[in-house]
A = this chain, B = another copy of it.
Amino acid sequence: MESAFAVLAEPHRRAILSMLSSSERSVGELMHHLRLPQPSVSKHLKVLRDGGFVESRVEAQRRVYRLNPRPLQEIDAWLLPFRRFWSRHVDALEQQLERMEENSSVKGKKRHGKP
């Protein structure tokens, strides 16, 4: 698993993180919410653990998982240069859209025809 993004590529894993952002949860709770068999949940949790997204606490037989924000903070940091980009280019993009509109309305067509 090379990057935090690869971990987040999986919808169930994002769902787990979202659930954990509101509060800690046991595997059973996650399982119930996600409507996913327990082994799947455990495996996703392993990926999340290995990626540093979550940590677990043992509570009797339960493992209670909680969020660890660091990897998400790294993603936040990765976005930084792009934020500069889009704040610089907001107006340029709007102009671009206007140009596209007045230029043609057939943007869906793929010009593959042969002459």
Contacts and interface: CB of A to CB of B under 8 A. Distances in A.
- Give the interface SS of chain A, mostly helix, strand, loop or mixed: helix
Interface in A39-95: 49, 67-69, 72-73, 75-76, 78-79, 81-86, 89, 93
Instruction: Name, among A49, A69, A72, A78, the residue most crowded by chain B CB atoms within 10 Å (CB to CB).
Output: A69
A24 B22 CA distance: 40
Nearest to A2: B11
How many identical chains are in the complex? 2
A64 to B, nearest CB: 13
Nearest to A1: B9
Nearest to A90: B69
B85 A79 contact: no
Instruction: Name, among A11, A49, A82, the residue most crowded by chain B CB atoms within 10 Å (CB to CB).
Output: A82
A8 interface: yes
Contacts of A30: none
Interface in A7-30: 8-9, 11, 14, 17-18, 21
